[in-house]
Amino acid sequence: MVNLVIKTDVEYDPVNHQKTDIYYDGDAKEARGAIIDIHGGGWFRGDKAKDADSSKRLAALGYLVVTPAYRITPQAYYPAPLLDMDRLFNWLKQADLPFDHDRIGAFGSSAGGNMVVELAIKYGIPIVSLSGILDIDDWLAKHESVIAAEGDTSGFNSTASAKINQTGANDPFYKWFVTNYFNGRTDQYEAATPYHRVTDDTGSMYLANSLNEFVPTSGVLMMADTLTAHQIPYTTRMLSGSRHAKGYLDDVWDDLAAFFKRTV
C-alpha cells in the first residue's frame, strides 16, 4: 500500500498566484520521477481537484504527481494557460521535492491533452494525451459553416471528468469552446496548433482518442504524421465509441503505465 501524501494549494506562480496539488508516496525516499497532470475543461471550466482520481493512480505507480490550476476564460485567454505551464515546469525543476529531477513526464486530457503536447514540444519530455485538442487551424478552416454553440455546459464543474460530453460528435460545441479560447481573435489559430512546431527534440508521445467523440481524430492523425517526419517515437490508440478523454482511462491505463515506465 502507498502511504499517499497530498499537499494542496502549493503556490507555483508568484506572479498570477496559481497553485498546484502534489501527490506522492510518503514512504519512498525518492519518487522515480514526476508527472504533471493537467485537467481538461475546454479552457473555460474545470479545476485541479477534478484530476485527483488520476493523480492518485499515477502516484500509486511510484511517481510524484503535480496537478496544477491554471488560468481559464473569461479571466484569461490563449496563451495564458500555456504560460502558466511554463512557470509550473520551471518551478518543478527547481522545487525541493522528493523525486528524480531529471525524470519528468506529463499526462493530460482534452484541453489538458493539448497543453501536455506543448510541454513535449518545448521541453522534450514524454507525455500522454487523451483526446487532446491538437488540430485547431486546419479544422476551423474546414468547418467555417459550422455555427458555434455552447449548449448546456452547466455540469462541467459538478460532473466527474469521465462523465462529460460522451454522446458523440458535436461540431457546434467543439467550435464554440475552441474559438472561445481565443476571445474572438482569428490570427492565433496557427500559432496555437501544436504540430506546426514539432522538432527533432520533441518528447515521445502516447496519443489516444475515441473514434466518434466530439474531439475529432484529425488531431491525432496529423500529429502522428508530423512525429513520423521528425522520427519522434509515439504510440496512438483509437477506441471505439464516443467516450471522451478520462471516460476511457481504464481502457488505456495499462498502456500509459507501461509508456511512463519506459520513458520517465
Instruction: Choose among 131, 105, 123: nearest CA to 258.
Output: 105
> Across the strands, what pairs with 142?
none
Q: For residue 98, which phi and psi values (nearest 5 degrees)?
A: -85, 75
C-alpha 167: how far from chain center: 21
Instruction: In whole angstroms, give the CA distance from residue 194 to residue 249.
Output: 23
pLDDT score for 164: 52
Alpha-carbon separation of residue 93 from 12, 50, 101, 123, 261 (angstroms)? 11, 24, 6, 11, 20
Distance CA(109)–CA(42), nearest Å, equals 10
Domain extent, residue 87, equals 4-263
- Count of the separate structural domains present in the chain: 1
Q: What is the CATH number of the domain that holds 92?
A: 3.40.50.1820
Neighbours of 128 (CB within 10 A): 30
Sign of the dihedral defined by the CA atoms of residues 151, 154, 157, 159, in that order: negative
199: its cell numbers: 522538432
Each residue's pLDDT tens digit, 215-250: 999 999 999 999 999 999 999 999 999 999 999 999
pLDDT in tens, 4-36: 999 999 999 999 999 999 999 999 999 999 999
Per-residue model confidence as pLDDT tens digits over 122-137: 999 999 999 999 999 9
Percent of the chain beyond pLDDT 70?
94
What pTM did the predictor assign?
Answer: 0.95
